[in-house]
Amino acid sequence: ARVEHLTYVCTRSQADAGPNNNWMAPDEAHTKMRALFSGCMRGRTLYVIPYCMGPLDSPYARCGVEITDSAYVVLNMAIMTRIGRPALERIARSGQFVKGLHSTGELDPARRFIMHFPEELSIESFGSGYGGNALLGKKCHALRIASWQARTEGWLAEHMLIVGLQNPRGETHYVAAAFPSACGKTNLAMLVPTLPGWSVETIGDDIAWMKFGADGMLHAINPEFGFFGVAPGTNMKTNPNAMLGINANTVFTNTALTDDLDVWWEGMTDEPPAHCTDWRRDEWTPERETPAAHPNSRFCAPAGQCPVIAPEWEDPDGVPISAILFGGRRAGTVPLVFESRDWRHGVFVGASMGSERTAAAFGKVGELRFDPFAMVPFCGYHMADYFSHWLSMTERTDESKLPRIYGVNWFRRGADGRFLWPGYGENSRVLAWIFGRITDDAGARQTPIGMVPRVDDLVLDGLDIPKADVAAALEVDADEWRDQLPLLEQHFESFGAKLPEALREELIELKTRLDAR
């Protein structure tokens, strides 16, 4: 798993790192890492990986060089990024790149650190072979370092999927969405709509870099070249496009191996294999209490193999974003979907995001934690400054050109513990409503938390669930939201005096609207 307690942002001023990051002074961090790295590759092969994040000809793209002693890293970086001579030539032209140094070391948890130096555009990672800690182009560069660059340069580096949503008339709008790890992000990125005539095409499943285009809209690229998805639970029902996209040229990590040398993981098939080798290389049968595949086992596949990859996924100018979704895994309170009142309120929605912990994060599974913008583990600077940066977007363009912002929650449960909404392909019904809001063709009712569809505002033809369940999924219970306010206040107070006043005002206004109900 990610080791957030051993991941540091090393800025000259501790205040710049913020309460959301572990901080270490750069000189101290360099000294510590120099001692760890000393002689660590003796007897090993040293690999040098020049890589480009984003299409090679895109003005949005950024480059890096990773030095590693892990062939596994080389193999995955070759899938996840554009590596080799073209990247090296771009570095030579631009003169700027992120420097990454990685060694698996002894894989000793007591000698494991992932250090980021945003002011130096450098990363040093020792003692871990886990994707997010070792494939330095991914979270380390594309989010922690890039978010620092984005604030400095006036753009956004986000933990978001990007999709193109096309209606039956052939009109397309592009949507970005932030979800914490293992909350259905990849499934949504490769959605197969159940609504006739609608289609979803994939631009990216994990990271979005957004900059203002000549039209004043935020345009997004996917800086990655592959998909690094969570395997357990992925199957032909939950994500058929992912399954079709991993048939070849794919690296599987910590899955089970069947007797006929195929991969398997929990949820892949209705029936488990009678016998296989588990992720620890032990014999496994269905009678075993432990899972055959690690809960955070992964597949790493070229994005171009995805059957619904959008033709414009490598457009150097990116795609214009019409809507941004913020979601998480919440059993109660948060409705299936709601629309923010305006950009400022939308930033408040993103800043208020909460989700239950997953296997991808270190900690107690199921515990609720606030994860603003799904960026708490990945923001390379003070989260309150990050909120201010988002709020500043209204100063950079006409607010009418900014994306509309929505909250979504596929995971709401009824009093009996059942999921109220079937999710997966049926989420296209929610996307269709959002599309209709963008084009002013869909209705909604006003609530204290924003605009929420009435049951009849959603296209429910062919959906085999009681309307009462849909109504319950869309319910906004003022008492439940009031109960959340002290937690929200405590959450915001954790960011100290730097918290933008606009977010304090949004909290007060929410309380006022709830009390008026």
| Beta-carbon contacts of residue 227 (< 8 Å; ≥ 6 apart) | 186, 205, 206, 242, 245, 299, 300, 301, 303, 306
Asked whether the CA dihedral 470, 472, 473, 476 is positive or negative, the reply is positive
User: What is the token pair recorded at 276?
Assistant: 């296989």
* 3-class secondary structure, 85: helix
Taken as a whole, the chain contains a residue count of 517
Active-site residue identified among 52, 63, 183, 300? 183
Maximum pairwise Cα distance, the chain: 70
Instruction: Provide the Cα torsion 50, 54, 60, 66; round to 10°.
Output: -30
Taking phi over 0 as left and psi of -120 to 50 as alpha, with beta for the rest, 224 belongs to: beta
Q: How many CB atoms lie within 10 A of CB 463?
A: 17
Which alpha helices (DSSP H) does 297-404 contain, by range? 343-351, 383-391
Residue type, 243: M
* 3-class secondary structure, 160: strand
Concerning whether 183 is annotated as a catalytic residue, the answer is: yes
Q: Cα(448)–Cα(507) distance, rounded to whole angstroms?
A: 11
Complete edge-to-edge strand list for the sheet that includes strand 283-284? 263-264, 256-258, 276-277, 283-284
User: What is the token pair recorded at 437?
Assistant: 């809001």
Q: Cα(430)–Cα(163) distance, rounded to whole angstroms?
A: 14
Which residue reads 């063709």 in tokens? 441
Q: Cα(450)–Cα(420) distance, rounded to whole angstroms?
A: 21
Which residue reads 């395997």 in tokens? 231
How would you class 218 by CB atoms within 10 Å of its CB: exposed for 0-12, middle for 13-18, buried for 19 or more? buried
- Residue 357 contacts residue 212 (beta carbons within 8 Å): no
Q: Which of 486, 485, 405, 388 is nearest to 218 (CA)?
A: 405
Q: Which of 28, 65, 29, 30 is nearest to 49 (CA)?
A: 65
User: What is the token pair recorded at 498?
Assistant: 């730097």
Q: Cα(385)–Cα(78) distance, rounded to whole angstroms?
A: 34
Q: Cα(221)–Cα(229) distance, rounded to whole angstroms?
A: 19
- Kind and range of the H or E run holding 237: none
Q: Cα(481)–Cα(449) distance, rounded to whole angstroms?
A: 9
Strand partners of residue 404: 323
Q: Active-site residues: which are they?
A: 183
